[in-house]
Structure 1
Amino acid sequence: MLETKLAQLQALFQDMEQALIAYSGGVDSTLVAKIAFDVLGDRALAMTAVSPSLLPEELEDAKIQAVQIGITHQIIQTHEMDNPNYTANPVNRCYFCKSELHDTLKPLAQQMGYPYIVDGVNADDLRDYRPGIQAAKERGVRSPLAEVGMTKAEVRQMSQHLGLPWWDKPAQPCLSSRFPYGEEITVAKLQRVGRAEMYLRKLGLQNLRVRSEGDTARIELPPEKIKEFILTTDLQTLVGAFQEFGFVYVTLDLEGYRSGKLNQVLPQVMTSV
């Protein structure tokens, strides 16, 4: 099955002849970049958008991975934080983010002679609430992984099969996803969350989130790591660090990290709008 889907992806890029990849450095878009480069060589270009919602360490990962793949990699700036429709953080915030991204990429692609822009959307993403997908479709962006029906699990399997060392890299959505819908997003808040998450990762923790609501930080860890975290972490030092970052209160989510938790409130949010 995986070999069939790999062949389909390779054929898809052969038909394109040239492609610009919207490349975040996540496992999905990196697999797309790898296959595109294997097929197209220097006729494939990976482009990463940088804004305050991107963790600096994610940009560094993207650079390193692009070098290992061999694909040409360029960086651009996007300005979704200038759009009040984005910073107001409505339930369709991602629509405005992806609109800004592809309104920036499209003229660049045309100017540079790339007839196609592709992204890393996979088949599982189509079953989740992802308003950014609509923005990309409206602008003619193609999603090769979704087109061949490749799931997230298959993306990881394929990445491992192709020898990509980051095949099990945790998902890392933009920092704006750390805020409840309706709470205004600012650069200072994004930086505060980013610094807090980097602090926890330096303690050796992975697959985590620091959710921000007002002056409160809520730490989400894998459920199996919670007990060890409480017993082995100097909590007073941690709280002091978070307060230096700008938080007043620091809490621990006893349910633990669960993908998609932000969207569990969507039915009631949409009903109240």
Structure 2
Amino acid sequence: MKIVTKKLRSLEQILSDMKSVVVAYSGGVDSSFLAAVSHQRLGRQSLAVTANSPSFAPWELEEATALATRFGFNHRIIETKENEEPGYAANGARRCYFCKNHLYSHFHDIATKEGYRYVVDGSTTDDLKEFRPGGEAAREWAVQSPLVDAGLNKNEIRELSHTLGLPTWDKPAQACLASRVPYGIRVTTKILDKIAQAESYLRELGFKQLRVRHHDSVARIELPPEELCFLLESNIRRRVTSRLKKIGYQYVSADLDGYQTGSLNRSLRSGTINRGIQDKSGE
């Protein structure tokens, strides 16, 4: 038996032993896989919950809902307001902590009121190596991470997702819209809406793996290097520039370094986020 198959069997046993779970389900690669396996093992005793808010991209909600319907998940959408949390809006280095703390409080309430034994998330062994303040919130709310307990990494989850027939197996990595805003710049609903509109338009043009980084009056577009040539074709360039200016940006730029997950975390690694901004996030 392949190692990855053994890990899947381990995950199935872990979930069976849990008896009933609320799955933090965003529709990404990891949470979709967890929701699918949980549904297979626990049926109606598995509830996949998606938190909808201004920081959650509209197309992500549509895709998460479509997948849940296709595979028959016990699925629920709740409305959350993490963007109204002072620590989240301040957008310091611990923004993700305040976001997850808000979300997990809602998931915990559902589990407590409706008799689900655990809240589980899609964290993987790879996530343990990265800067993720949300992990602290998970520990505080006793959120379990079955994929970590089964020893699964992201590549193995993609492989197993393909085997299970999940369309998310090759889905690009996603993150909340606030991740497009540099640390220290206050996150507002207006800014999140501009980013959502800009990325939605680029997706309509056929771009899938992308980020529109918000730098006040400047929209900095990140795409895989091989797609930059298409963006810079005169007709596409004019259309993109025109639409993003209508959305509210004065300048539209293409990042020549290309698409990079967590590119705004460079300021954390370089130490350019000053102490005052970090402290502000804890208000």
Paired with 2:240 and 2:227, the residues of 1 have a C-alpha distance of 16
Paired with 1:233 and 1:29, the residues of 2 have a C-alpha distance of 38
C-alpha offsets along residues 178-220 of structure 1, whole Å, 9 cap, x if unaligned?
0110001110100000000010011111110000011110000
Paired with 1:50 and 1:221, the residues of 2 have a C-alpha distance of 26
Match of 1:195 in 2: 197
CA drift of 1:263 comes to 1.2
CA drift of 1:115 comes to 1.0
Match of 1:96 in 2: 98
CA drift of 1:176 comes to 0.2
CA drift of 1:223 comes to 1.0
Q: 2:52 aligns with which of 50, 68, 73?
A: 50
Size of the alignment, in residue pairs? 273
Q: 1:85 aligns with which of 84, 87, 91?
A: 87
CA drift of 1:76 comes to 0.8
CA drift of 1:244 comes to 0.9
SS at match of 1:266: helix
Question: Does residue 280 of structure 2 align to residue 263 of structure 1?
Answer: no
Q: 2:13 aligns with which of 7, 11, 34?
A: 11
Match of 2:158 in 1: 156
CA drift of 1:260 comes to 2.3
Give the percent of matched residue pairs that are identical in Structure 1 and Structure 2.
44
Match of 1:130 in 2: 132
Paired with 1:7 and 1:131, the residues of 2 have a C-alpha distance of 30
Match of 2:217 in 1: 215
Paired with 2:42 and 2:206, the residues of 1 have a C-alpha distance of 38
C-alpha offsets along residues 46-104 of structure 1, whole Å, 9 cap, x if unaligned?
00001100111111111111112211100111111221111010011000000000111
Give the number of the structure with larger relative contact order, counting CA–CA contacts within 8 Å between residues 6 or more apart: 2
Paired with 2:24 and 2:66, the residues of 1 have a C-alpha distance of 16
CA drift of 1:150 comes to 1.0
Match of 2:176 in 1: 174
Paired with 1:173 and 1:271, the residues of 2 have a C-alpha distance of 21
Match of 2:188 in 1: 186
Match of 1:67 in 2: 69
Paired with 1:75 and 1:215, the residues of 2 have a C-alpha distance of 33
Distance change >3 Å, CA 271–CA 67, structure 1 → 2: closer
Match of 1:145 in 2: 147
SS at match of 2:193: helix
Question: Which region of structure 1 is more displaced relative to structure 2, 209-218 or 263-272?
Answer: 263-272
CA contact (8 A) 2:83 2:89 kept: yes
Q: 2:226 aligns with which of 207, 213, 224?
A: 224
Runs of 4+ in 1 over 6 A off after TM superposition: none
Match of 1:35 in 2: 37
Q: Which amino acid aligns with 1:64?
A: A
Q: Which amino acid aligns with 2:192?
A: L
SS at match of 1:234: helix
Paired with 1:82 and 1:235, the residues of 2 have a C-alpha distance of 35
Q: TM-score, normalised by structure 1?
A: 0.97
Paired with 2:163 and 2:170, the residues of 1 have a C-alpha distance of 12
CA drift of 1:123 comes to 1.0
Q: Which amino acid aligns with 2:88?
A: Y
Distance change >3 Å, CA 39–CA 239, structure 1 → 2: same
Paired with 2:74 and 2:239, the residues of 1 have a C-alpha distance of 43
Q: Which amino acid aligns with 2:13?
A: A
Q: Which amino acid aligns with 1:122?
A: T
CA drift of 1:147 comes to 1.5
